[in-house]
């Protein structure tokens, strides 16, 4: 492999790494926000909300991520095609691989993170909530000023692990022809007949991204633990 080929595939890997990073950046926050909603629904007084939330976590935790991705990518496209026969405005619409991957991984992230949030919600001291209610504090204000900071402080270590899993799960989108880091590495190894080189490069990039995520969540944990950690 000459230098020109090496540089060409290096830029290809960089572009693939950018897609992987974008998928993680989009999926993790959306998945965590949806996970919080699902966790709150599990604590709802309404039976329908609780059953719906339980169904979401059961389905997406019990189904392989790859199967979820394929069902959303191909299943949603089939539904659009069927709807296009009756609604001309929907005919010819194709679901981009990035959108399908983001939706699938968001749902999976929400299912797993909801359990982390649920444990954190149940660990709240009820006395604080009762005190806020007795002072006439609005429930929304109570949630954002009292409950949410403590929930995040408790759930952040588990959310960090979930975020690392999301990063690794982005490699699955290569199955639906999204040009992420894993697919670029596969194409490079096939064209150059040097799989060890390019898969090792992909490994290094994934580890670098993982290191950035670990550092980010360590910073967030210190931020949310401020004032609550005993200092010797």
The alpha carbon of 16 is separated from its chain's Cα centroid by a whole number of angstroms, namely 18
| b/e burial code for range 25-51 (CB count within 10 A of at least 16 → b) | ebbbebbbebbbbbbbbbeeeeeebee
Confidence at residue 135, expressed as pLDDT on a 0 to 100 scale: 82
- pTM, rounded to two decimals: 0.88
Confidence at residue 89, expressed as pLDDT on a 0 to 100 scale: 72
Confidence at residue 1, expressed as pLDDT on a 0 to 100 scale: 60
- Residue 71: how many CB atoms within 10 A of its CB? 13
**Domain locations in the chain?**
3-224
Alpha-helix runs per DSSP H in the chain: 3-42, 47-62, 65-70, 76-84, 97-122, 126-134, 139-142, 148-169, 181-192, 195-224
Q: Rounded distance, CA 38 to CA 36, Å?
A: 5
Confidence at residue 130, expressed as pLDDT on a 0 to 100 scale: 84
Question: What is the CATH topology of the domain spanning 3-224?
Answer: MetI-like fold (1.10.3720)
Tens of pLDDT, residue by residue, the chain (232 residues): 667 777 888 899 999 999 999 999 999 999 999 999 999 999 999 999 999 999 999 999 999 999 999 999 999 888 888 887 777 777 778 889 999 999 999 999 999 999 999 999 998 888 888 888 888 888 888 888 889 989 999 999 999 999 999 999 999 999 998 899 999 999 998 888 888 999 999 999 999 999 999 999 999 998 888 766 554 4
Ramachandran region of residue 180, left (φ > 0), alpha (ψ -120 to 50) or beta? Answer: beta
């Amino acid at each position: 492999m000459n230098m020109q080929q090496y540089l060409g595939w290096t830029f290809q890997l960089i572009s693939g790494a950018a897609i992987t990073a974008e998928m993680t950046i989009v999926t993790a926050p959306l998945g965590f926000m949806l996970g919080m909603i699902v966790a709150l629904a599990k604590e709802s007084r309404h039976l329908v909300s609780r059953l719906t939330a339980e169904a979401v976590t059961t389905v997406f935790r019990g189904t392989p991520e790859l199967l979820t991705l394929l069902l959303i990518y191909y299943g949603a496209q089939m539904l659009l095609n069927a709807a296009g026969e009756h609604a001309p405005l929907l005919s010819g619409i194709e679901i981009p691989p990035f959108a399908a991957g983001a939706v699938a991984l968001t749902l999976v992230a929400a299912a797993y993170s909801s359990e982390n949030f649920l444990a954190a919600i149940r660990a709240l001291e009820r006395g604080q909530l009762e005190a806020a209610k007795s002072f006439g504090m609005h429930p929304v204000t109570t949630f954002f000023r009292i409950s949410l900071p403590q929930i995040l402080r408790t759930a952040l270590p588990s959310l960090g692990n979930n975020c690392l899993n999301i990063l690794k799960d982005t490699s699955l989108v290569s199955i639906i022809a999204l040009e992420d880091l894993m697919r670029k590495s596969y194409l490079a190894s096939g064209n150059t007949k040097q799989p060890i080189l390019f898969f090792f490069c992909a490994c290094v990039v994934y580890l670098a991204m993982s290191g950035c995520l670990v550092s980010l969540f360590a910073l967030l944990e210190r931020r949310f633990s401020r004032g609550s950690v005993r200092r010797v």
